[in-house]
Amino acid sequence: GGRVTCLLGNHELMVLQGDTRYVAKAEFLELAERDGKAGDISAGRRSWTSMYAPNAIRGLRLRRDRQVAVVAGRGRCRTLFVHAGVLPQHVEFDPDHGLQHLNENVLGKIVGGTPERSHLFHDEGPFWYRGYAMNPERKICPLLDRTLRSVRAHQMVIGHTVQDHGVGVRCDGALNIIDVGISRVYGGNLAAWECSEDSGPFAIYPHTSKAFLRPRAGALSPNLEIGEHENFKDLGTWTIVSLGLLCMYVLGKIYFTFR
């Protein structure tokens, strides 16, 4: 058993906003040919945009069935998952329902057609924020700690910013960055993030053992550091595959430049 939860990311948001800058021209040409307008990129672009209109099946799915951020897992594996990052101001105004309000607020503005008017859709919003991945830890770790305390999670898992050397770990393991560059544009690197309630989070790479991600101080066993390995029995685990936008297949064949 298990469950797949598809989250909204910045590229899904761009699709809903009619922004096609990262859609391959081949997609437009294929749609144009399907519609009897071979070679007409503009016609293909219009067809693409219409597929994600509010009343279209794909558009409805994205607007209705996706969340912005979720907390999943138990014990040591209680984790906040989001595309780019949740900041304290997004959730701590309501310790019990902050995440729910965040999801409702974002989806409400998307459905209402007014995302550009909200700070949630700009550089410090959950779709575009790169501070957790790029700013000095002395600045971002206190923010991360406040966010995690607010949603009662042990760590945050994000994508959005490509990592050069496998799953990124910051703030003593409180932040795991799982965009390892699965797109061919970034090298086609494969990895997965998994969490065992016995031993905490670890990364999985092709042809290697499981690599533990450094725990937060006092949160997990101090002996579990990056590079240590162990074989696990198949106990209850939470796994997020860094195929990242695997759920994008509901949109059809899409070749974005993921970034």
Q: pLDDT digit string (tens) for 173-225?
A: 999 999 999 988 889 999 999 999 888 999 999 988 788 886 554 443 322 33
Residue keyed to tokens 């949603």? 151
More confident residue, 249 or 50: 50
The arithmetic mean of pLDDT across residues 136-149, rounded, is 97
Asked if the model's pLDDT at residue 157 lies above 60, the reply is yes
More confident residue, 17 or 235: 17
The arithmetic mean of pLDDT across residues 132-141, rounded, is 97
The whole-number pLDDT of residue 115 equals 65
Measured over the CA atoms of residue 167, residue 171, residue 172 and residue 174, the dihedral's sign is negative
For the chain, give the mean pLDDT: 82
Q: pLDDT digit string (tens) for 22-49?
A: 999 999 999 999 999 999 999 999 999 9
The whole-number pLDDT of residue 12 equals 92
Asked if the model's pLDDT at residue 234 lies above 50, the reply is no
The whole-number pLDDT of residue 114 equals 65
The whole-number pLDDT of residue 216 equals 52
The whole-number pLDDT of residue 233 equals 33
The whole-number pLDDT of residue 220 equals 33
pLDDT band at 256 (very low <50, low <70, confident <90, very high): very low
The whole-number pLDDT of residue 112 equals 73
The whole-number pLDDT of residue 241 equals 42
The whole-number pLDDT of residue 251 equals 34
Q: pLDDT digit string (tens) for 65-123?
A: 899 999 999 999 999 999 999 999 999 888 788 999 999 999 888 887 766 668 889 99
Model pTM score: 0.82
DSSP states along the chain: -----PBP-HHHHHHHTT--TTS-HHHHHHHHHHTT-TT-HHHHHHHHHHHTSTTSHHHHHHHHH-BSEEEE-SGGG-EEEESS---HHHHTTSTTTHHHHHHHHHHHHHHHT-GGGSGGGSTTSTTT--HHHHS-HHHHHHHHHHHHHHHT-SEEEE-SS--SSSSEEEGGGTEEE-----SGGGT----EEEEETTTEEEEE-TTS-EEEPPPPTTTS-TT--TT------S-SEEEEETT-SGGGGGG-S------
The whole-number pLDDT of residue 2 equals 76
Asked if the model's pLDDT at residue 167 lies above 80, the reply is yes
